[in-house]
Amino acid sequence: MTDPDAAVVHAQQARELFLSAGSLDSVPVRDTVLDSWRRARALRIHPDRVELPYVRGPNLDSPLTNAAAPVLQRLANDLASQTISVILTSSDGLVLERFASDPSIMRALDRVQLAPGYSYAEHFVGTNGIGTTLETARPTFIRGGEHYLGTLGGLACAGSPIRHPLTRSVLGVIDLTCWASRSDPLLFTLAKSASSQIEDRLSALASESETALLETYLRQCRRYPLGVLAIGGNVVLMNEYLRHALDAHDQVALLEHSQDLTGPGSVGTLVVVLPSGHTAKVTAVERISVRGSKSVVLHVQVPTDRASRRPIAHATLPIPGVAGHSSSWRRSCQQVERCCRDREWVVLDGEKGSGRARLAKAVAEHVNAGKLVRLLRIRDFADAEQLLAALSAETVGNDFNIVIAGMDRLPTDVIEPLAEILQACAGRGWIAATMNSAIHAAAVDALVLPFFTHTVGVPALRHRIEDLDDLVPFLLRELTRGADVRLAPDAMRQLAKLPWPGNVAQLRRVLAETVARQRSGIIQLDKLPPQCRSLTRRKLSQIEALERDAIVRSLQDNDGNKAEAAAALGMSRATIYRKIKDFGIA
């Protein structure tokens, strides 16, 4: 057996020679280590300092952590008498959990930030048992001076990848770390055995979650004769009705939109426009959670009314007053225009700020050139009673064109009077209404929607992000009254990365704030408001938004230096790294 102390000294000599001369002619090391050293040097990693950012809080309720938990605990118990730590990481090297009974090894891990929330990927720390295992996708044993960072020279790390039971993609790493002077090749074997045990448990849990998903899907298929769709991880189940009703392009689009219903806190219903022109209503009817694995079963309604069956003519003229070239936006425009020309009442369904009311009004003005189109918003009236009075006055004749905005936000006590007015003017004039089917009151379904023969989905901005190329110049012209101002390419790319929960309305506010700073010329990335530097996909609270903006401004004031920005804000470097990651600040 190789003397551990001699191996440590040999590795230290090789590392020093590599760092000073850049080659290893006289003191060879393993190819795996040398290749990793070269990657670390190319990444300009400092060989003697640990400068790790806090990446994010670990997710301890995932399929990986649930499958690994009993294996890690059993291994930690077996090694309780040894100075060995047991560490679990995600596929990007983030430390999820660690166990060690010896306080000295835990203190050593703390000193080098080998702790939950920090990543040991190679691009942060160079050669190590975790990062090099992820880089090579193979079990790796890194001992003493084989680490690229000198501060890790006293440790030995045996890492083994944990693979998905079906796709074989790497989900994470199990790593055993001890003192380099007490390392043993058996540690390498033990790590590989533990990763195999975790993979076996992942396979068993996947079977359990897939069985639960299948049972729920079959139950919903028996209860609901039309479209049923089930999504769970890599499993997608679609019933025969949907497979026949939708072509391949529609099915792909449906799956993409349905992802918005799978996450925690997601809405319960979506109305989406499919490539064929069909408008599908998608409702989450049952959510399943099995030990960190989350699935959802959906009901999908695909109406076959005249507006959705009629083929789409893609060569129609653009509608003045709106912008966008994406297929989903064009279909929405064309379907609303068709309803307006046929004088059939229509509901424009979509998220707040997506441009529903503006689209309806622009279409009506385009189709009925020279005629008045009245837009009724509850915010423009003192109360709902005044809105109803205005609606009654506008619908006296036979040639009215009215858009009722925000029907889902009307008080419940005015729904019945609204239905009476609609009944009195049914068959005369044209009415379009906007709403969000995910949040409207049940009374709207029962009393109001029957008067509208068609529903057209208006896509959220995140589902037509390619329209930014049209929307940004269009809105800038409106805001500056035609001034010569435009965004630089890097600023446009940044806008395309954002989630836009407030849709086009939010985009307009961002551009208004931007042109308040610069009203002509080319606007660079640094002129965008602080919120545009954040790529977080969750909605921030008001306090979090203020904190995010303060961090962005401090980074700008300190030329991107995180340590100086943290000092200026009175927070630690670890805190600002964590918040930058949490807020998605680019």
In the chain, the number of structural domains is: 4
Q: Is residue 312 part of a domain?
A: no
Residues 36 and 138 in one domain: yes
What pLDDT shows up at residue 370? 86
Residue 402 covered by a domain:
yes
Q: Distance (Å, rounded) from C-alpha 47 to C-alpha 408?
A: 60
d(CA 75, CA 382): 68
CA 441, 446, 452, 455: dihedral to nearest 10 degrees?
Answer: 50
Sole residue written with tokens 């080659």: 23
- Which two tokens mark 192? 């590989």
Same domain, 91 and 200: yes
85 and 168 share a domain?
Answer: yes
CA distance 231 to 85: 38
CATH number at residue 336: 3.40.50.300
Do 112 and 23 belong together in one domain? yes
Whether 294 contacts 286, CB under 8 Å: no
Long-range contacts of 316-321, Cβ-Cβ distance < 8 Å, separation of 24 or more: 319/359, 319/362, 319/363, 319/366, 320/362, 320/365, 320/366, 321/358, 321/361, 321/362, 321/365, 321/366
Does residue 314 sit within a domain? no
Question: Residue 151 belongs to what domain range?
Answer: 4-204
Residues 451 and 493 in one domain: no
Close Cβ partners of 512 (under 8 Å, ≥ 6 residues apart): 479
Do 454 and 479 share a structural domain?
Answer: no
- Quickly count: other Cβ atoms within 10 Å of residue 537's Cβ: 10
Selection from 400, 375, 401 nearest residue 387 by Cα: 375
Q: Is 464 within a domain? A: no
The one-letter amino acid code at 553 reads R
Domain contains 519: yes
Cα–Cα dist 343/328, whole Å: 23
How far is Cα 153 from Cα 147, in angstroms, rounded to an integer?
Answer: 6
Indicate if 199 and 234 belong to the same structural domain: no
R_g of the chain, CA atoms, integer Å:
30
Same domain, 530 and 428: no
337 located within any domain: yes
183: Cβ contacts below 8 Å, ≥ 6 apart: 4, 143, 144, 156
Q: Answer with the one of 204, 238, 267 that is the final residue of a domain.
A: 204
Query: Taking a C-beta distance cutoff of 8 angstroms, is the pair 139, 161 a contact?
Result: yes
Distance CA 492, CA 468 (A): 8
Could you tell me if 345 and 435 lie in one domain? yes
What pLDDT does 376 receive? 94
| 231 located within any domain | yes
**Same domain, residue pair 247 and 338:** no
pLDDT tens for the 586 residues of the chain, in order: 445 555 556 777 888 888 877 666 666 788 899 999 989 988 888 888 877 888 888 988 888 998 899 999 999 999 988 899 999 999 999 999 999 999 999 999 999 999 999 999 998 999 999 999 999 999 999 998 899 999 999 999 999 999 988 778 899 999 999 999 888 888 899 999 999 999 998 888 777 777 888 888 888 888 877 889 888 877 888 888 888 888 887 888 888 888 777 765 566 777 877 877 778 888 888 887 766 667 778 888 876 543 344 444 434 457 999 999 888 898 899 999 999 999 999 999 999 999 999 999 999 999 998 899 999 998 899 888 899 999 999 998 888 999 999 988 888 888 999 999 999 998 889 999 999 887 767 788 888 888 898 889 898 898 888 899 999 999 999 999 888 999 999 999 989 888 898 999 999 999 999 999 888 899 998 889 887 876 655 556 667 767 777 787 788 778 788 888 888 888 888 788 878 877 777 6
* Residue that is last in its domain, among 301, 336, 365: 301
Nearest CA to 146 out of 5, 34, 21 is that of: 34
Here the CATH number for the domain that contains residue 27 is 3.30.450.40
Which residue pairs, CB below 8 angstroms and at least 24 apart, start in 517-523?
A: 518/485, 519/480, 519/483, 519/485, 520/480, 520/483, 520/484, 520/485, 521/484, 521/485, 522/485, 522/486, 522/487, 522/488, 523/485, 523/486, 523/487, 523/488, 523/491
Cα 107 from Cα 48, distance rounded (Å): 19
User: For the domain that residue 511 is a member of, what is the CATH number?
Assistant: 1.10.8.60
Distance, CA of 425 to CA of 399 (rounded, Å): 11
Single-letter amino acid code for the residue at 32: T
Are the beta carbons of 40 and 122 closer than 8 angstroms? yes
Of 138, 169, 204, the residue that ends a domain is: 204
Note whether 253 and 340 are same-domain residues: no
Instruction: Give the pairing type, strands 140-143 and 95-99.
Output: unpaired
Give yes or no: residues 54 and 197 share one domain: yes
Is 28 within a domain? yes
Closest CA to 400 of 378, 420, 371, 359: 371
